[in-house]
Structure 1
């Protein structure tokens, strides 16, 4: 850590000084990093009078791309962070000026190994959008197709990797010194975010995501996805087909759009990605959703995607049914099947909280329940009990909320639960389909046959290990000290009883033997009785003393 701080000392100072400036100096002090802070201004700063959430948002915006992205990811984790913070972080904006056309030109020519004029018939110098990771330009291919070209910001990878290294260091230190950081598992959340951001900077990943959604959407009547032009793309460049349309929240009835139909098509298209294919758009906010003149929905920007296995989708359907029927046991079973609830969770307390959540929705008509909010509430309860929510499920929760917000803007009367129910029923039918069950049974039988076939070999290996003394047995018993203490007490009492009984038997034997002998014998003439009696008494007293001294009697 020390080497990392020295290597990135300038950036450390920027971050820690910004924390001071926005009123988070106590965190720097608690982490023991005051020496890295430049002397802050002594006059009162206007930020002093802002709320904590607002100061945090402004801090993240000032610190740049990595921190803005981190805040945007945090705004999707309502299972961890409170509502007032989520609301403020959702306002995060990229206030980043575009970089120069000369830099754009240099990157394209370096990656595509040709002059810009040879690659495109035309290329607009002014970007149509600029963000923290890259910016977008319109262009025309030699084939005559209109495209948009995303170009990654110069040196952004170095900047982001530096910030990620510093953040990992600071969070690791915070987990050691601040209990609340450890309770929130912020380092685990950060690692998920870090991997996602690294993938987002690699435009090849986005190209692959887009192509997969494109293949899924070939027969989708609701949604279409623009083409990818791989020969004009690289890790730092992404060329995709130009989408001619209006932002989904900007369309109006006066312009000829059927808002209710558009809302329905958009929701069905996303639900098909989620519940049918298990590979879906992870950030369907209005800026990424366009409507063409014929009412077709066009999706762009697949830098963030979610993935759900068939088993996860089916359990999600069970979860929805449990929520709809307000059946706590079904909800708990679905959470167990999804590996959210582990063995260490107190399931009695968890069920109590799930019952409380059920009662919150008890008198609300199912058509008026927000599925996104219900899922988020569910994840919040799970997080309270230290359950681990997979990152793809948090992306799912965010996507569902985005879908519901857009749908409610277009048609407040449209009920999401009515649209999602057919997908859930299909998944449940598939779960109990005899063909699927027979396939699972076949797999189980084959696995059992393999196990039986391997058993003799495993037993031979075990036997050899026993012969060579290589078997190690490790027993883990809760409260082992108490158990050993009890065993000691029992064994000492048994020892005491045995010695006492032996002493009694010896004495009885001596007395009986003496009484049966009419004539004195050599044995009786010797002082053996007295010697034996003294020895027995001493042994008895020693054992009693040892037991009492051990305190385990």
Structure 2
């Protein structure tokens, strides 16, 4: 840890000084890192009157790409962080200038092994968008197809890895020294975030995600996923078909758009990804959704995706059933099945809180219930009881909220529960489909047969282990350190008593032996009896004192 701080001393100072500037100096002090801070200038802090959440957002924006991305991921974790912080972090934007065209040209030519003029028929030098990880340029392929090219910022990987190393150090230190940091399990959340960010920097991952969503939506006539051009894509750059359209929240009826139809098409497409395929767009905000003149919905930017296993989708169906019927036990069962509820959780208290949540929605018409908010509320209750919510489920909650917000902007009268109901019915039918149940039964029978087949061999192995006396027994004792300490004290006292007894026997032997010989010895000339008596008396008094002081006699 110390080596890490020395290695990244300059960046450490930047981060810790920024913490001071935005009013988080007490955190640096509690972490014991004041020596790494440059002395801040003594002037009126313009951030003094801002809220804590706003100062945190400004801090993350100043510290750059890694911290911005961390804040954006944190804004999806309503199961961990409070609402006021989530709302502020949701405002995080990548306020970064574009990097020079010469760097763009160098990266493309190095990765594709040819000159830019040979690779593209035309390439716009001015980017159409710039973000913390990379920027986007319009171009034309030699075949005449219009494309956009995403190019990663030079040296961004090293910068991100450095920041991740520092963040891991600081969060680990916080969990050691700050109670609230340990309660939030920040290190575990950080590791999820770090892996997601590393994948996002690798454009090959995004290309694969896009290809998978493309295949899922082939049969959907009103949905378009842009084509990826693998021959013009690498880890640091990605070439995608250009989408001509308008941002979904910018379309107007006076321009000829049917807002209700667009909203329904968009929502159903996302629900199809979530509840049918289990692989879905993890960041469907308006900037990633475009509408074409023919009302086709175009989805872009699949750097963040969510994954739901068939079992998780079935449990989501059970959750929807519980919410719709306002049945607390069904909701609790769904949470258990998704491994959100661990063994250490007090299930009675959790059930009480879920019942209180049920009562909140009891008098509300089902069509007025926000599924996204309901799921977020469930995750908040789970977090209160220190349950672990899988990251894919938090991405799901965020995606549902994004869909609902866009739908309500386009058509406030369109109820999300009405759109999701057919998918819920399908999941319910699948859950109780005899073919699925028979398949599960078949798997259970196969597993049981395998177990029975292996049982004799396992029993023989266990028998041999017992015969050789090699059975390992693990004993768990509460407060084992204190117990060992007590045992040490007792053994020391026993040893002390044995030494005293041995000393007494030796003294007696010396005196008796000396008295049986007629020749004078040095021992007879010494006051052995007096000396031995004094030593034995002192040792005896010490033992009695130790016993009385312990209070156990």
User: Corresponding residue for 2:121?
Assistant: 121
In the TM superposition, residue 222 of structure 1 has moved relative to its aligned partner by 3.5
Give a deviation string over 1:102-137, Cα, whole Å, max 9, x none.
Answer: 100000000000000000000000000000000000
In the TM superposition, residue 250 of structure 1 has moved relative to its aligned partner by 0.6
User: Corresponding residue for 1:400?
Assistant: 400
C-alpha contact (below 8 Å) 1:284/1:399 kept by paired residues:
yes
Give a deviation string over 1:519-545, Cα, whole Å, max 9, x none.
Answer: xxxxxxxxxxxxxxxxxxxxxxxxxxx
User: Corresponding residue for 2:507?
Assistant: none
C-alpha contact (below 8 Å) 1:247/1:289 kept by paired residues:
yes
User: Corresponding residue for 1:373?
Assistant: 373
Gap runs ≥5 in structure 1: 484-549
TM (norm. structure 2) is 0.86
- Aligned-residue CA RMSD (Å): 1.9
Query: What is the alpha-carbon distance in structure 2 between the residues aligned to residue 414 and residue 336 of structure 1?
Result: 32
Query: What is the alpha-carbon distance in structure 1 between the residues aligned to residue 430 and residue 342 of structure 2?
Result: 26
Query: What is the alpha-carbon distance in structure 2 between the residues aligned to residue 294 and residue 77 of structure 1?
Result: 36
1:88 aligns to 2:88 (yes or no): yes
Query: What is the alpha-carbon distance in structure 2 between the residues aligned to residue 478 and residue 8 of structure 1?
Result: 41
User: Corresponding residue for 1:206?
Assistant: 206
Matches within 5 A, 1:74-223: 74-223=74-223
1:473 aligns to 2:473 (yes or no): yes
Query: What is the alpha-carbon distance in structure 2 between the residues aligned to residue 67 and residue 453 of structure 1?
Result: 54
Query: What is the alpha-carbon distance in structure 2 between the residues aligned to residue 39 and residue 423 of structure 1?
Result: 59
Q: Determine helix, strand or coil for the equivalent of 2:266.
A: helix
User: Corresponding residue for 2:16?
Assistant: 16
Give a deviation string over 1:34-80, Cα, whole Å, max 9, x none.
Answer: 00000011111111111111111110110000001111111111111
Query: What is the alpha-carbon distance in structure 2 between the residues aligned to residue 16 and residue 52 of structure 1?
Result: 17
Q: Determine helix, strand or coil for the equivalent of 1:474.
A: coil
C-alpha contact (below 8 Å) 1:61/1:94 kept by paired residues:
yes
Query: What is the alpha-carbon distance in structure 2 between the residues aligned to residue 74 and residue 399 of structure 1?
Result: 14
Matches within 5 A, 1:446-525: 446-476=446-476
In the TM superposition, residue 476 of structure 1 has moved relative to its aligned partner by 3.9
Query: What is the alpha-carbon distance in structure 2 between the residues aligned to residue 551 and residue 46 of structure 1?
Result: 62
Matches within 5 A, 1:45-444: 45-444=45-444
In the TM superposition, residue 469 of structure 1 has moved relative to its aligned partner by 1.5
Query: What is the alpha-carbon distance in structure 2 between the residues aligned to residue 428 and residue 231 of structure 1?
Result: 43
In the TM superposition, residue 475 of structure 1 has moved relative to its aligned partner by 4.1
Q: Determine helix, strand or coil for the equivalent of 1:48.
A: coil
| Distance verdict in 2 for CA 1:275–1:69, change over 3 Å | same
In the TM superposition, residue 415 of structure 1 has moved relative to its aligned partner by 0.4
In the TM superposition, residue 221 of structure 1 has moved relative to its aligned partner by 3.2
User: Corresponding residue for 1:7?
Assistant: 7
C-alpha contact (below 8 Å) 1:372/1:398 kept by paired residues:
yes
C-alpha contact (below 8 Å) 1:222/1:268 kept by paired residues:
no
| Distance verdict in 2 for CA 1:42–1:551, change over 3 Å | closer
Give a deviation string over 1:451-489, Cα, whole Å, max 9, x none.
Answer: 1111111111111111221111224477999x9xxxxxx
Query: What is the alpha-carbon distance in structure 1 between the residues aligned to residue 476 and residue 7 of structure 2?
Result: 45
Give a deviation string over 1:264-288, Cα, whole Å, max 9, x none.
Answer: 0000000000000000000000000
In the TM superposition, residue 370 of structure 1 has moved relative to its aligned partner by 0.8
C-alpha contact (below 8 Å) 1:228/1:241 kept by paired residues:
yes
Query: What is the alpha-carbon distance in structure 2 between the residues aligned to residue 185 and residue 323 of structure 1?
Result: 28
In the TM superposition, residue 365 of structure 1 has moved relative to its aligned partner by 1.0
Give a deviation string over 1:342-396, Cα, whole Å, max 9, x none.
Answer: 1110000001100111111111111111111110010000010010000000000
Give a deviation string over 1:174-221, Cα, whole Å, max 9, x none.
Answer: 000000000011111111000000000000000000000000000123
Q: Determine helix, strand or coil for the equivalent of 2:150.
A: strand
TM (norm. structure 1) is 0.86
Q: Determine helix, strand or coil for the equivalent of 1:47.
A: coil
In the TM superposition, residue 446 of structure 1 has moved relative to its aligned partner by 1.0
Q: Name whichever of 354-363 and 134-143 sits farther off.
A: 354-363
Count of residue correspondences: 489
In the TM superposition, residue 551 of structure 1 has moved relative to its aligned partner by 9.8
Q: Name whichever of 80-89 and 391-400 sits farther off.
A: 80-89
